[in-house]
């Protein structure tokens, strides 16, 4: 039996408690295989618990550990690091709690905050470099840590309360679906619920649309007179938040005579 076959059989034992795979190692290996299986499952359970303390606080220990155990049974690690395993848990929670959408949304927010913390740093532009920008054609440099998380419930309010150690509100549906910006500034993950228009145009910026395109959309919503002021305030907010770091040098510069 070659090494690749042994590895495959060992994986089949760990991921599915495959009796035929275990038998290939002989009766004497049974106690050791059980130890490895316990360690494997314990590490995956610990990864989920470490990655989702807010979800655990919301569900309670029993419900959370039950959901985590079912996830371990159904979903096997595929990444090169065990930390990647936590990424699939929100989808499992959505299936497990179809009538409580705040559970999966809490998990998506908590995952996004964790990923923002470990994401690559970005370089903030020198303010002087923005003095001669052709804003109509400018395409923004987006912070590598930024992501937009869709929500339909008050998951943000629940998250904020649990992080602050205060009693969380009861779960409720939002009047309208929203998106939450999650990013990191310095060493601190941050989040902010966006108004619908800001969510729409920030998503455009992430997709690489120009500031001119963004201003056109804002003007259609706010009117030609109010549009430029609204666009300017949004851009100022993005630069202050550091969700937008600057302008791509080959898209937004104009010559100065």
- pLDDT of 255 reads 41
| In a domain? residue 115 | no
Q: Do residue 87 and residue 150 come from a single domain?
A: no
171 shares a domain with 243: yes
Domain-embedded: residue 67 = yes
Return phi, psi of residue 194, to 5°.
-95, 145
> Do the domain assignments include residue 125?
yes
- My answer on whether 25 and 72 are in the same domain is yes
Asked if 84 and 144 sit in the same domain, the reply is no
* Cβ pair 79, 47 in contact under 8 A: no
- Asked if the structure places residue 11 within a domain, the reply is yes
Range of lowest pLDDT (58-62, 119-123, 198-202)? 119-123
Residues 135 and 94 in one domain: no
Query: What's the pLDDT tens digit per position in 130-167?
Result: 888 999 999 999 999 999 999 999 999 999 999 999 99
DSSP state of 166: S
At 129 the pLDDT is: 84
Q: Phi-psi region for residue 26, left (φ > 0), alpha (ψ -120 to 50) or beta?
A: left
pLDDT tens per residue across span 161-210: 999 999 999 999 999 999 999 999 989 999 999 999 999 999 999 999 99
Which residue range forms the structural domain that includes residue 95?
1-99
* pLDDT grade for 251, boundaries at 50, 70 and 90: confident
- Do 185 and 135 lie in a common domain? yes
245 by DSSP, 3-state: which?
A: strand
What's the whole-number mean pLDDT along residues 236-252? 90
Q: What percent of the chain has pLDDT over 70?
A: 82
Same domain, 32 and 146: no
Q: Are residues 159 and 243 in the same domain?
A: yes
- What distances in angstroms separate CA 109 from CA 90, 160, 170, 257, one per listed residue? 9, 11, 17, 48
On whether both 59 and 128 belong to a single domain, the answer is no
């Amino acid at each position: 039996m070659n090494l690749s076959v042994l590895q495959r059989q060992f994986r089949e034992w760990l991921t599915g408690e495959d009796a035929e795979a275990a038998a290939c190692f002989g009766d004497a290996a049974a106690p050791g295989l059980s130890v490895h299986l316990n360690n494997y499952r314990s590490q995956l359970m610990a990864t989920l618990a470490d990655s989702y303390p807010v979800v655990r606080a919301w569900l309670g220990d029993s419900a959370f550990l039950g959901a985590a155990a079912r996830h371990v049974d159904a979903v096997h690690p595929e990444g090169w690091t065990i930390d990647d395993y936590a990424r699939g848990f929100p989808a499992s929670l959505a299936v497990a709690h179809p009538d409580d959408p705040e559970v999966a949304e809490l998990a998506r927010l908590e995952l996004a905050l964790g990923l923002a913390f470990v994401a690559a740093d970005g370089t903030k532009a020198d303010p002087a470099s923005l003095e001669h920008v052709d804003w109509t054609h400018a395409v923004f440099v987006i912070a590598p840590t930024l992501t937009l998380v869709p929500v339909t419930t008050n998951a943000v309010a629940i998250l904020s309360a649990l992080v602050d150690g205060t009693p969380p509100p009861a779960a409720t549906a939002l009047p309208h679906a929203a998106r939450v910006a999650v990013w990191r500034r310095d060493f601190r993950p941050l989040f902010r619920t966006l108004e619908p228009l800001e969510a729409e145009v920030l998503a455009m910026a992430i997709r690489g649309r120009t500031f001119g395109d963004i201003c056109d959309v804002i003007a259609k919503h706010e009117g030609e007179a109010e549009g430029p002021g609204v666009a300017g305030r949004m851009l100022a907010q993005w630069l202050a938040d550091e969700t937008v770091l600057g302008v791509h040098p080959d898209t937004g510069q104009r010559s100065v005579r």
